[in-house]
Amino acid sequence: MKFKNENQVSVKYRTGTYTSGFEWKSVQPGKECDIPYESAKNLPLTPLKDVKIEKLKEKVEDHEQKKEDKEVDAGFRKKQYKEKLVSIKGVGKKSAEDIIKDYPTQEILKEAIKNGEEIHNYDNVDAAVKGASF
């Protein structure tokens, strides 16, 4: 992680391990350094924003927003689809919900009508839906 020394004096820190040996390094005032967070958390250094992390956060936020927009759009389309079914004479709310369970989108319902499938258990609802234009 990148840090910057915003103090008037240089800051010294130790790197390395016991087996490989320790090495002392210093960061001059106004200079940047790239050291692990654990090593720098107790030093008087100011963390710099990591550009990669910021870009990843933006991508995640964009993805979440697009996902939310798709869910809202799908809910709106489902509501329109249900209203269209209910507007057909002979199809009520419960019948429309039953049809939506079996045929979740209008396109799937159109395919089923073309293939001559039975849309609903009741013949009058089945005939009404098949007779309506989508």
**Would you say residue 8 has pLDDT above 80?**
yes
What residue spans define the domains of the chain? 2-48, 71-131
Contact 2, 50 (CB under 8 A): yes
**Would you say residue 52 has pLDDT above 80?**
no
Average pLDDT, the chain: 84
pLDDT digit string (tens) for 120-131?
Answer: 888 888 888 888
Instruction: Write down the pLDDT at residue 24.
Output: 87
